[in-house]
Amino acid sequence: MRAVLALGSNLGDRESILSAAAEALNEVGEVVALSNFLSNRPVGGPPQPDYLNAVLILETQLEPEELLMVCQAIERVFGRTRDNDEVRWGPRTLDIDLITCDQLVHESEILTLPHPRAAMRTFVLAPWLEIDPDAYLPGAGPVAELLANL
C-alpha cells in the first residue's frame, strides 16, 4: 500500500522530531519520498508556536487502520497524548495524519480516508505536491489544482 502521511510539530526540537518520526515510519515500510520541512502558522486552536510540517510517502504492507495505530504509537513516543483534556488543535510535539492510502475511500469509527480536511490545508498540499507532482486526492481532485485554488 502507498500511504501519504502529513507530519507536524510545534513543540521541542521540531526538525529532529520530524526526522525521527520519518525514521520510525521507515521501520514499518519504506519511506520513498520526504518533502522539505516547511514552517507554517497554526490553524485553529489557542495561541501557540508555528508548526514545522512535512509530507512523506510510505510503501507498507500494513492495512490503513494498522498504520494509524503505528502512527499514534510513534506520536506517544514523542509525548503526544490524546486524552479528553487535550486542547483541540492545540500545540503538540508530533502530529501524524494519514492523508491517503492508495486511492481508498474508507470510513470507520477510528479512520476516515482520505483525510477529511486535507484539501483545505496548504501545509499538506504544498509539500505533497513537492514530492509527487501528479498527486491526486480521492474525491477532491489533483493536488496541484486544489493548492492553486486556496
State the catalytic residues. 80, 92, 95, 97
Q: Choose among 65, 72, 57: nearest CA to 136.
A: 57
Alpha helix segments (H runs only) across the chain: 14-26, 64-77, 122-131, 143-148
State yes or no: cis peptide before 114, omega within 30 of 0.
yes
Four-point Cα dihedral 97, 99, 100, 105, nearest 10? 100
Q: Are 125 and 118 in contact (CB under 8 A)?
A: yes
Report the C-alpha gap between 42 and 26 in whole angstroms.
27
Q: DSSP state, 118?
A: G
